Amino acid sequence: MDFSLSNEQRSWQMTARKFANEEIKPITLDLDEAPDAHGTFDWGIVEKGSKLGFRTLAVPKEYGGEGTDYVTQALVMAELARGDSAISKTFSQNWKWSHLISAACNAEQKERFLRPFVADHRFLLGKGITEPTAGSDNRMPPKDAPKAGLKLRAERQGDEWILNGEKCFIANAPVGKLFFIDARTDANAPLRQGTTMFLVERDTPGFRIGKVFNKSGWRFYRNGEMIFENARVPHANVVGHVNNSDMKAAAAGDRTGGDLFGDLELAANALGVCDDACEQAMKHARTAKQGGQVLFEQQHVQLKINKMNMLTEALRSMVMRVAWEHDHKVHSANAGLAMNYSTDVIQEVTELNLDIHGGAGAKVARHAEKLVRDAFIWSHLAGDTVQRLKVAARLARVAAQH
């Protein structure tokens, strides 16, 4: 088994590491401590990263993107997250949706949307799925409640669709220029059958961004409300076909029901945070003193550092294996499992790091505490329980095939 990276993969990894060390680390803590939801964001770092290709990493070369493989994407996400998890996610959120543009849009849409996206360093993408009454229901539609799920309505009027409703907690909503929007085009059909995906530009008449959410962790990451009041979207912006929208998974050729990129993304980001935590813990243990000796002299500190690194390396193996599987079109439940595992690991590792930094008199490290707040976001992202149940269902489907 060859675990080595290609020169190109290694080069991207090192570029991302340098960017994280030199550009991200110096600003991460101050941004996190901004008191409200607005001061936590900075276009400067987005533009700098974009110029190095971090925003367009997943766009095919023919459209002016970097055209990288999944292994490269995993490496870059981890390296950026080592600097700041939310900044890394702000970049990779664009890869998720540019993957979807490539996979699900027609040639005309790709030209119309990918080119301006690539050209503008401030062009960010998002996707509106979640609504106040539909979170887990969108991720795992209940069989015995067919009307459950998103309610945003889209009604055809000539060459346009009229959208009414709202979305909430949507990533990049306050700063994005283009959004995929899942809308209910057949209210009587179950979710998958009755949903159509649209591309909605920021300046669409009748569409506006509402509240910007102030979060305890991932504070750089922008989450907002979307409000549609007779918003008019051209028919040419329908992605795929009307109704029966399962474009993400289907387009990727993955029939096992997973979120090809999204699961890997969260696991790789978590890996970067864990790497940061392990580095911080070791540095602190080797320098901070108690009773006249460095903390590392104590067995309970050594045991914590062992645990942190053990979990991080296990996660790394899983992340890289999943990335490799994606590049080789091997389909399994491993991406989902990696995402579930990363939820547990990131919290345990960052909490152990905080433990090592804490204690009476010692001023609790701002950085260590921030990592903990960023880490428990993982349990609040896309319905943690539902994500685990979905993977279990996927495993059962695979078992049924044998």
Partner 1 sequence: MFNLHLDPEQLEFRDTVRDFVEEEVKPVTLKADRLDLNDRTLPVEVLRKASQMGLRTLTLPEDLGGVGADALTSCIVTEELAVGDADVAAVLTETSALALRLFSAMTPKQRERFGTAFLEDDDYHLALACREPGDDSALGINYHRPAPDMRLATTATRDGDHWIINGAKDCVANGPIAKLIAIEAQTDKGPALILVPRDTPGLTVSEQPEPRWYHGSCGLLSLKDVRVAAGNLVGISGATDAGRAAPLPQALNLGIGRAAYEAALEYAGLRVQGGRRIIEHQAIGTKLAEVAIRLDIVRTAIWRAAWASDHPDAFADRSLPDMPLTTIAKVFTAETIYRAAKDSAECFGAMGVMRDMPLQKYIHDAMICLHTGDGNSDDKLRIAETLANHRRGPSMLAAE
Judged by the rule CB under 8 A, the positions of this chain that interact with partner 1 are: 35-36, 130, 133-137, 140, 142-145, 148, 168-169, 213-218, 223, 290-293, 295, 297-298, 300, 347, 354-355, 358-361, 363-364, 366, 369, 372-373, 376-377, 379-381, 383-385, 389
Nearer to partner 1, 67 or 257 (CB): 257
Q: Nearest distance from residue 144's CB to partner 1, in Å?
A: 5
State the nearest-atom distance from the C-beta of 132 to partner 1, in Å. Answer: 10
Looking at the Cβ atoms of 124 and 372, the one nearer to partner 1 is 372
How far apart are CB 37 and partner 1 at their closest, in Å? Answer: 8
37-43 long-range Cβ contacts below 8 angstroms, 24+ apart: 37/212, 37/213, 37/214, 37/215, 37/219, 38/212, 40/219, 40/220, 41/174, 41/175, 41/220, 41/222, 42/220, 43/122
Q: Whose Cβ is closer to partner 1: residue 40's or residue 256's?
A: 40
Separation of alpha carbons 183 and 172, rounded Å: 18
Considering the complex, state which of residue 32 and residue 325 has its C-beta at the smaller distance from partner 1: 32
Distances (CA, A) of 27 to 55, 87, 136: 19, 11, 34
Residue 236 or 362 with smaller CB distance to partner 1: 362
Compute the least distance from the CB of residue 307 to partner 1, in Å.
Answer: 13
The least distance separating partner 1 from the CB of residue 1, rounded to whole angstroms, comes to 36
* All residues at 6 or more sequence positions from 397 whose CB lies less than 8 Å from its CB, including other chains: 256, 257
Q: Nearer Cβ to partner 1, position 59 or 311?
A: 311
State the amino acid at position 42 in one-letter form.
D
Half-sphere exposure of 101 (CA within 13 A, CB side): 33
Place of tokens 């290609």: 6
Least separation, in Å, of the C-beta of 185 and partner 1? 22
